[in-house]
Amino acid sequence: MSANKITISGVTIECIQGDIAAQSGIAAVVNAANAELMIGGGVAGAIHRAAGPRLEEECRPLAPISPGEAVITGGHNLPNRYVIHCLGPIYGIDKPENLLLANCYRNALKLAEEHRIESIAFPAISTGAFGYPISDAAELAFRTIVEDIPKLKFVKTIRFVLFSASDLKVHQETLSRMIE
């Protein structure tokens, strides 16, 4: 079985294939950042290119951040009010990587709640340049979010934006196991 979305206690978790920098209608997008919060490859490149140079300016005094940490800025030229920047663990180097990756999701949701954000879109943090295996990362991300749902008062939509069809498929299959 494979599911594009599930709703638990009024909170919808959904997955789509797309570009994290093109998510209109979502209040906050999450950046798979580098410690310096500067433009990089992958998600960080797409977000900074779309947001424009004022995003780096706003980020400079907030850096560096540690694995598992999250900070929030404005969205600048993105179609989103906020960007929440998370530094994922480098697989095999930053340990324990499962705890550090879970902290990214927890800390991002905590910031979203503090800013009364209703909708948030995540990329698959750490699964690109940082090498975290996609299915382990998907399982951990969904489990962490489902555990946090009872704490959410403002967040109602949590979207996963996957770059490739195969990453989308992994997430759909993992999501459907959450409701079995």
Footprint of ligand AR6 on this chain (CB under 6 A)? 19-21, 32, 34, 40-44, 46, 88, 123-130, 161, 163, 167
Q: How far is the CB of 130 from ligand AR6 (least distance, A)?
A: 3
Q: Tell me how far, at minimum, the Cβ of 153 lies from ligand AR6, in Å.
A: 27
**What's the min distance (Å) between Cβ of 37 and ligand AR6?**
9
How far from 53 is each of 57, 75, 160, CA to CA, in Å?
Answer: 7, 11, 25
Name the residue nearer to ligand AR6 (CB basis): 63 or 152.
63
Contacts (Cβ under 8 Å, ≥6 apart) of 123: 20, 30, 31, 32, 43, 160, 161, 162, 163
Nearer to ligand AR6, 8 or 142 (CB): 142
3-state secondary structure of 96: coil
Identify which of residues 90 and 178 has a Cβ nearer to ligand AR6 in the complex. 90
Q: Are 118 and 109 in contact (CB under 8 A)?
A: no
**Which of 58/152 has CB closer to ligand AR6?**
58
Specify whether the backbone of 45 is left (phi greater than 0), alpha (psi in -120 to 50) or beta.
alpha
Quote the least distance from Cβ 9 to ligand AR6, whole Å.
Answer: 27
